[in-house]
Structure 1
């Protein structure tokens, strides 16, 4: 089974959502995990907006990059510039994609305005993940 690693800064939102969608759509073909260059804890708003589309990520944890898993992956996806710049050297022969996504955890405004940003990023991530079907 091919392995995918989704990486972002704190493994609290974007990479968690990507892992959730990959688990939903490709669990029969890909093993997927997510991690960060730091641990910020799972963002409850990410859990909430994913639940709205039928994806439960409430059991996920915020993890640091596991170098053993990293080195076994066929695909590494960075979801922000910070992760791209700080992740370990991509192993030769490993495919790397970069999705430069807005960090929804930095959204400001009312709760509904913040959730709107989370939903927009969630929907963008879903589109990207669905394209991995051809990976």
Structure 2
């Protein structure tokens, strides 16, 4: 098993999130650690964000980098500039990487911890796909015919355009925007996910869909260009979405429990 160490200054937020995410996605392929150059206590907001995201938090404690300085790691990944400066020459390490994410503790945005976790989620998924041969990749080789077939249906096209515009949406938000029943929306989202155009993630009771971050550039450009040159397609759906109260993608809890379809 490859050994991965996530490092930040306090080991109270970003590195704890990264440790929990990598264990969740590839705990059988990586042995995961986190530590801080000046460790403190794990921020309660970190624990809450992980809990809301549906991740295991047991055993997450703030640790000093001094306690593991004699160990070998295949990857040492820093999550702030200060930690990178102090750990760039980790003894016996294989690869030293710098992922500089803003510290959510310094932000006044009430969603800062959740947003940081979402950004780390995408980076960790890519890390697993690139560095683990044992973990089945979620990236599929999409054939042009399948891509254009996906765009040929009006509901799937509007779902893609709305998700591209909004960044992330759940089933009930798409139901409200398109005024369509849950089974129809879920069926089309499942098809888009199976083809490889969408990626989903669970956060608590919600399942959010986004454009796959590893989608071929030319395919993603077609989706973006379609949206840019045909904004009128989303006039009515966007108005309906804006009228929706307590949207899950904005931290609300308007909808009932959702599930990922056709895993």
Relative to the length of structure 2, the TM-score reads 0.47
2:156 corresponds to which residue? Answer: none
Three-state SS of the structure 1 residue aligned to 2:70 is helix
Name which of 56, 66, 69 aligns with 1:67: 69
Aligned to 2:123: 128
Greater shift after overlay, 91-100 or 16-25?
A: 91-100
CA distance in 1, matches of 2:115, 2:81: 19
Matched, 1:85 2:85: yes
**Is there any run of 5+ residues in structure 1 with no aligned partner, and where?**
none
Judging by fraction of residues, say which structure has more helix. Answer: 2
In the alignment, the residues of structure 1 paired with residue 91 and residue 113 of structure 2 have an alpha-carbon distance, to the nearest angstrom, of 32
Structure with bigger gyration radius: 2
Root-mean-square deviation (Å) = 1.4
2:9 and 2:37 mapped to 1: Cα distance? 5
Partner of 2:157: none
**Count, aligned residues:** 128
| 1:99 paired to 2:71 | no
Change (3 A) 1:59 1:117: same
8 Å Cα contact 1:47-1:56 kept in structure 2: no
> Is 2:44 the partner of 1:44?
yes
